[in-house]
Amino acid sequence: MSVIHFLKSKSFFIQLAIAFTIVIVLGFLLIQFLDFKTNHGEEITVPDLSKMQITIADEKLKELGLELLLLDTVDYRKDMPPYSVVEQDPRAATTVKNGRKIYVKINSGGFTEVILPPFKDKTYRQISANLKSLGLKEGRVTYRNYIAKDVVLSISSGGKNLNAGDKIKKNSTVNFVLGDGKDVFDGTNLGEMPSIENDSI
**What CATH architecture is 113-192?**
2-Layer Sandwich (3.30)
Q: pLDDT tens across 106-137, in order? A: 999 999 999 999 998 899 999 999 999 999 99
CA 28 to CA 19: how far, in whole Å? Answer: 14
What is the mean predicted confidence (pLDDT) over 84-113? 95
Percent of the chain clearing pLDDT 90 (strictly above): 65
What is the mean predicted confidence (pLDDT) over 27-56? 81
Q: What is the pTM of this model?
A: 0.57
Q: For the domain 43-107, what is the CATH code?
A: 3.30.10.20
Domains 43-107 and 113-192 share a fold: yes
CA 80 to CA 138: how far, in whole Å? Answer: 23
Q: Break the chain into its structural domains and give their ranges.
A: 3-38, 43-107, 113-192
CB 46 within 8 A of CB 96: yes
CB 114 within 8 A of CB 136: yes
- Nearest to 196, CA basis, from 117, 124, 116, 115: 124
Q: Which residues contact 149 (CB under 8 A, 6 or more apart)?
A: 178, 179, 180, 181
Q: Give me the pLDDT at residue 37, please.
A: 59
User: Which SS3 state, helix, strand or coil, does residue 101 take?
Assistant: strand
Burial code of 104-138, b = ≥16 C-beta within 10 A, e = fewer? bebbbeebeebebeebebbbbebbbebbeeebbee
Whether the predicted pLDDT of 187 surpasses 60: no
